[in-house]
Amino acid sequence: TRTYVVTGSASGIGATTAQLLRDRGDRVIGIDLKGADVEADLSTPQGRADAAAAAIEIAGGTVDAVIACAGISAPIAKTISVNYFGVTELLEALLPALAKSDAPRAAVVSSMASLQPNSPEMVEAALAGDEAKAVEIAEGLAAQGPEIGYAVYPSSKRALARWVRRESITPAWAGAHIPLNAVAPGTVVTPMTAPLLATEEGRAMVDAAVPMPLNSHQPPESIANLLIWLTSVENTHMAGQVIYDDGGADATLRGDDI
């Protein structure tokens, strides 16, 4: 039995991942705003620290794997705090507990939206660990309305993908024998996308931005199973990858440009 910490465990991809792990007999410590083993707000430094401390205590000191799914897509400044700092700071706080496992692993959820227009300044501020500056830039975008404010989301996911590439090869992660990777989904059918997918107009907008020639919109299981493999004992050498599991959206949009 392995002990997993899963964030965003109350809904969507995180809930499905937690359920599949429990069905296999693994132990899951869920973190979410509500309806989880650890109820915490990952948008604040205190919430992240409290969440990590509570999860480590419940785990008994050793965590075998972390799967970070919690995220929001709203065109508001909080999106950079939850999607970037709520992942990176939590993972860093859990590192000592991961280091005690004999097969530690970590995986996060980025998005194919990381390829959409974003704010390089916000991405840089986030990667520099400057939450105040990243939030200030996000507030500036959000103040210009939802269309411009939407860029906070792709910026948060791009910063997260870059953080994974940079960190995965450092002494803290690779040196501690911890594979660290990201999954980048296309359009997943969850409570996050339900309102958009409910109308023909919303679907047309989503499908224009995220073309999915292979099987169209995906179930959360398609992402959960990959997250589970990435954090399994079997993954010994994959590090720093951002895996587009997106019905072919990345191949359609980026083509040869890799």
**Catalytic residue positions, numbered:** 153
Question: At its nearest, how many Å lie between ligand NAI and the CB of residue 102?
Answer: 28
Q: Which is nearer to ligand NAI, 40 or 178 (CB)?
A: 40
Q: Which is nearer to ligand NAI, 4 or 101 (CB)?
A: 4
Q: What's the CA gap between 125 and 131, in Å, rounded? A: 7
Contact residues for ligand NAI (CB under 6 A)? 8, 10-14, 32-33, 41-43, 69-73, 82-83, 86, 109, 111, 185, 187-188, 190-193
Q: What's the CA gap between 139 and 146, in Å, rounded? A: 11
Please, are residues 210 and 249 in contact by the beta-carbon 8 Å criterion?
Answer: yes
Q: What's the CA gap between 19 and 24, in Å, rounded? A: 9
Which has the closest alpha carbon to 87: 111, 59, 58?
Answer: 111
Question: At its nearest, how many Å lie between ligand NAI and the CB of residue 73?
Answer: 6
3-class secondary structure, 179:
coil
Q: Which is nearer to ligand NAI, 1 or 46 (CB)?
A: 46
Question: At its nearest, how many Å lie between ligand NAI and the CB of residue 12?
Answer: 2
Please, are residues 27 and 4 in contact by the beta-carbon 8 Å criterion?
Answer: yes
